Amino acid sequence: MAAVSDEAAPPAGDRDPGEAAAPAGAEAPTHSGFIALAGRPNVGKSTLANAIVGAKVAIISDKPQTTRRAIRGVASGRGWQLVLIDLPGVQRPRDALTERMQARVEHELGDADGCLMVVNAEQGIGPGDRFIAGLLGGAPVPVVIAVNKIDRVDRARTAAALQAAEELGVADDIFPVSARTGSGVRVLVERLVSLLPEGPFYFDASQRSDQSQAVQLAELIREQVLARTRAEVPHAVEVQIESIDRPRERLVRLEAVVLVETDSQKGILIGAGGRMIKAIGSAARRAIERELGSDVHLALSVRVRRHWRADERVLDRLGIE
């Protein structure tokens, strides 16, 4: 088991754990591969993926089921490239959407070179973690556990969480980390890089994600919806980019639609006097401007599409495999 460390580390995109592996001037072989992130909803997988990659490739929310796509984050160093698959929170399927999410989990695990299971030190190990550990027990690849959110607990609770993670019986190694502060992330990345087989890079070294721009921008809008809504509304919301236009340099015009399933959800998102949708649009515009580095004009509307989570055609159009 890894020792507890208080040392904060920069994201993987800003440093190179494999840098000293080859002698100066030698042509060392490159290593690349896929690491699947598994864990129950809301343990911090998306935050950890962003910390490892060094860029925002997955939106963050305190709502379960935030991640609906197997988002690939790409971290590259000298001679290595690590491709993270941020899987949807593992859960028992209940509709077409969660069935697709669960099928994607199983497919990506089968194709991965290693698995990183994330657990929450603050909440401790529970039935959901044991359920996932049971799924990973027969995995044909090494399993590493990250005990996340150690910045929120004292050393005694961290030690207890590490012990409980070891008792799950599936991990080759266990690392205490804080995705928020970066503590322990560097050592974790070094271990993940050691799992990669020899091979060429899958992506350009400067690329951080395989998501299309439209999907990335839609997710930034959905993140703002999640931040402002409660109960069933967050789970019933999806965002679709209708058009992206660049009428002149440093100006991007976006048209986007927020899909909901009922008229009452539409009313909540629009809000009294349109205040809610204006707040969502303003916050999303600022986030998109930071992402694109240009001014943004965002036209945002809300549309009811009843039972879209059970509609295979809608899921296909939204790119939820």
Mark whether 33 and 180 lie in a shared domain.
yes
CA distances from 134 to 22, 131, 312 (A): 38, 5, 29
Residue 10: per-residue pLDDT: 44
Whether residue 199 is contained in a domain is answered as no
Contacts of 99-107 spanning 24+ positions with Cβ under 8 A: 100/315, 100/320, 100/321, 101/65, 101/68, 101/320, 104/69, 104/70, 104/321, 105/38, 105/70
SS3 73: strand
Whether residue 201 is contained in a domain is answered as no
What is the C-alpha separation between 96 and 102, in angstroms, rounded?
10
Mark whether 234 and 167 lie in a shared domain.
no
Whether residue 3 is contained in a domain is answered as no
Residue 85: per-residue pLDDT: 84
Whether residue 32 is contained in a domain is answered as yes
Mark whether 261 and 167 lie in a shared domain.
no
Mark whether 138 and 271 lie in a shared domain.
no
CATH number assigned to the domain comprising residue 304: 3.30.300.20
Mark whether 35 and 157 lie in a shared domain.
yes
Residue 177: per-residue pLDDT: 97
Whether residue 7 is contained in a domain is answered as no
Residue 97: per-residue pLDDT: 60
Mark whether 230 and 190 lie in a shared domain.
no
Task: Give how many domains the chain has, as a whole number.
Answer: 2
Per-residue pLDDT of the chain (321 residues; tens, 9 = 90+): 443 333 334 444 444 554 444 445 557 789 999 999 888 877 888 889 889 998 888 777 666 656 666 667 899 998 999 999 876 555 555 667 666 666 666 676 778 899 999 999 999 999 889 988 887 877 778 999 999 999 999 999 999 999 999 999 999 999 999 999 999 999 999 999 999 999 999 999 888 887 788 888 998 998 899 888 887 777 788 899 999 999 998 999 999 999 999 999 999 999 999 999 999 999 999 999 988 899 999 999 999 988 777 777 777 776 665
Largest CA distance in the chain: 66
Whether residue 310 is contained in a domain is answered as yes
Mark whether 65 and 122 lie in a shared domain.
yes
Whether residue 203 is contained in a domain is answered as no
Domain boundary among 194, 223, 249: 194
What is the C-alpha separation between 262 and 284, in angstroms, rounded?
23
Half-sphere exposure at residue 230, Cβ-oriented, CA atoms within 13 angstroms:
0
Mark whether 122 and 226 lie in a shared domain.
no
Mark whether 133 and 277 lie in a shared domain.
no
The phi-psi region of residue 20 (left if phi > 0; otherwise alpha if psi is between -120 and 50; otherwise beta) is alpha
Residue 8: per-residue pLDDT: 39
> Using an 8 Å Cβ cutoff, are 59 and 226 in contact?
yes
CATH number assigned to the domain comprising residue 76: 3.40.50.300
Mark whether 250 and 109 lie in a shared domain.
no
Mark whether 188 and 310 lie in a shared domain.
no
Whether residue 114 is contained in a domain is answered as yes
Mark whether 65 and 143 lie in a shared domain.
yes
DSSP sequence for 127-186: HHHHHHHHHHTT-SS-EEEEEE-GGGS-HHHHHHHHHHHHHTS--SEEEE--TTT-BTHH
SS3 for 222-263, per residue?
HHHHHHHCCCCHHHHCEEEEEEEEEEECCEEEEEEEEEECCH
The owner of tokens 């205040």 is 275
> Using an 8 Å Cβ cutoff, are 31 and 199 in contact?
yes
R_g of the chain computed on alpha carbons: 20
Q: Domain range holding 301?
A: 213-317
Residue 207: per-residue pLDDT: 86
Residue 98: per-residue pLDDT: 62
